């Protein structure tokens, strides 16, 4: 028997806001989170802007001593997990126990700590490397810290699959619950890649937009003038529970998870397969997972990074999966506003899908001023769309050819 799995809590720390509601309202308003980088001086950099999380204070979630021993990526993840658990209405006065697990994905982990400690080693010698370097840097530490915070002794690990990391985390958590290996999971992703090394690396591989003079217009999925993605940071965490577990505690159920599909391109380190074969396979598996009706899908939150090849491949894949129905659905990209949160993107965008099926409102894809004729599906260009959506799909595709699709449905008891 495969148990039904529902979403009962959400937490978001993003370039658009420091809560799920604040982020959602900014998305509906078509607000861009892109601006000149403030984290470090950008002289000599080809790309000088990003989607930073502004005014984040870790002391709202931990004491000063703990903050000094925790990389920003883990701080963001802990903050989002706190919000998600609070939103789910959990009683945190007692440990969550062995039937509750944590899977938090991250593509890069503590790269800020990595840079700082490499500088300490090279400039001051090995004795100046912090004893906290390893536990601050490793990508799984966010999942471990969330487990410690809530006393969750069930399955606990980290998924690392580049930009598909948190989508894999949510999908694997879904599997753990439906198979009976856990009753509840705290899951999603976190990332803090706006550092000198990461910006230089992504910039030098020509993956990033170069619109330094107009950052807010730089991320333009499906637009003819797109020239790369905008680097973002943040965290998206949700609480998943078996339906029985949620109902037993009279939880407020936000949506139901009804599909998980994954595949590999097996093609190229960074480029998608022309024609989107891998993306198509992930979406098809997601739809077939629980036999959902493809014609009932009203919204696809596209991976939609604003890269020349990626957007076309994904549109082609959606057309192949949905056939004539592709013309009836909205395939939008919230990355036009948030930038690309890399390993945290799936957690954020899955949460967007939950909000869409809840509210019947679809966020716009901003900066879609000159649509690419090869990207001819409705992306809700520049203006939100109000439409009842029963089913929504979130796509996440990562460097290395990792593809994940997740499906959520409006909850019906």
Distance of alpha carbon 298 from alpha carbon 362, whole angstroms: 10
Neighbours of 313 (CB within 10 A): 24
Q: Which conformational region is residue 43 in: left (phi greater than 0), alpha (psi within -120 to 50 degrees), or beta?
A: beta
Catalytic residue check, 286: no
Q: Which candidate in 51, 158, 286, 340 is catalytic? A: 340
Max CA-CA distance within the chain? 64
CA dihedral of residues 316, 321, 325, 328 (deg, nearest 10): -50
Return the CA Rg of the chain.
Answer: 20
Q: Which candidate in 163, 286, 375, 379 is catalytic? A: 163
Distance of alpha carbon 190 from alpha carbon 403, whole angstroms: 18
Can you read off the two tokens belonging to residue 171? 């999908």
Catalytic residue check, 168: no
Catalytic residue check, 375: no
Number of H helices, E strands in the chain: 13, 14
Relative to beta strand 49-50, strand 255-264 is unpaired
Phi, psi angles (nearest 5°) of residue 314: -70, -40
User: Residue 263 contacts by C-beta under 8 Å, 6 or more apart in sequence?
Assistant: 278, 279, 281, 282, 285, 403
Half-sphere exposure of 397 toward its Cβ, with a 13 Å CA cutoff? 33
**Residue 23 DSSP SS3:** helix
Can you read off the two tokens belonging to residue 234? 């943040």
Q: Please answer whether residues 352 and 363 qualify as being in contact, where contact means their C-beta atoms are separated by less than 8 angstroms.
A: yes
Q: Which candidate in 51, 158, 286, 303 is catalytic? A: 303
Q: Please answer whether residues 344 and 189 qualify as being in contact, where contact means their C-beta atoms are separated by less than 8 angstroms.
A: yes
- Cα 147 to Cα 31, 99, 140: the distances in Å are 34, 12, 11
Residues forming the active site:
163, 303, 340
């Amino acid at each position: 028997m495969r148990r039904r799995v529902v979403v009962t809590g959400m937490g978001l720390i993003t370039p658009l806001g420091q809560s799920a509601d604040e982020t959602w309202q900014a998305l509906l308003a078509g607000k861009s989170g892109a601006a000149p980088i403030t984290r470090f001086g950008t002289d000599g950099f080809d790309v000088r802007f990003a989607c930073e999380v502004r005014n984040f204070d870790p002391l709202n979630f931990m004491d000063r001593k703990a903050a000094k021993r925790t990389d920003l990526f883990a701080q963001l993840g802990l903050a989002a997990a706190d919000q998600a658990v609070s939103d789910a209405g959990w009683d945190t006065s007692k440990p969550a126990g062995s039937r509750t697990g944590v899977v938090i994905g991250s593509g890069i982990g503590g790269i800020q700590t990595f840079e700082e400690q490499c500088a300490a080693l090279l400039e001051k010698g090995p004795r100046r490397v912090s004893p906290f370097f390893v536990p601050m840097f490793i990508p799984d530490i966010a999942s471990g810290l969330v487990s410690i915070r809530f006393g969750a002794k069930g399955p606990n690990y980290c998924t690392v699959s580049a930009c598909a990391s948190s989508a894999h985390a949510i999908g694997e958590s879904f599997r753990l619950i439906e198979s009976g290996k856990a009753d509840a999971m705290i899951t999603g992703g976190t990332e803090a890649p706006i550092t000198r090394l990461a910006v230089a690396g992504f910039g030098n591989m020509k993956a990033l937009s170069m619109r330094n003079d107009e950052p807010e217009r730089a991320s333009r999925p499906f637009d003819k003038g797109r020239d790369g993605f905008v680097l973002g940071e943040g965290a998206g965490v949700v609480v998943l529970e078996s339906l029985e577990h949620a109902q037993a505690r009279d939880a407020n159920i936000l949506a139901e998870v009804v599909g998980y599909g994954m595949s590999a391109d097996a093609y190229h380190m960074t480029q998608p397969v022309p024609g989107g074969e891998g993306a198509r396979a992930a979406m098809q598996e997601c739809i077939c997972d629980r036999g959902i009706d493809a014609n009932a899908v009203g919204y696809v939150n596209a991976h939609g990074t604003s890269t020349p090849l990626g957007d076309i491949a994904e549109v082609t894949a959606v057309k192949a999966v949905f056939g004539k129905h592709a013309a009836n659905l909205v395939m939008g990209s919230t990355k036009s506003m948030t930038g690309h949160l890399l390993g945290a993107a799936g957690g954020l965008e899955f949460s967007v899908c939950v909000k869409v099926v809840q509210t019947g409102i679809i966020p716009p894809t901003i900066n879609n001023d000159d649509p690419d004729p090869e990207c001819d599906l409705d992306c809700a260009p520049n203006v939100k769309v109000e439409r009842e959506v029963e089913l929504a799909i979130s796509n996440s595709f990562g460097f290395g050819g990792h593809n994940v699709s997740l499906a959520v449905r409006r909850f019906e008891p």
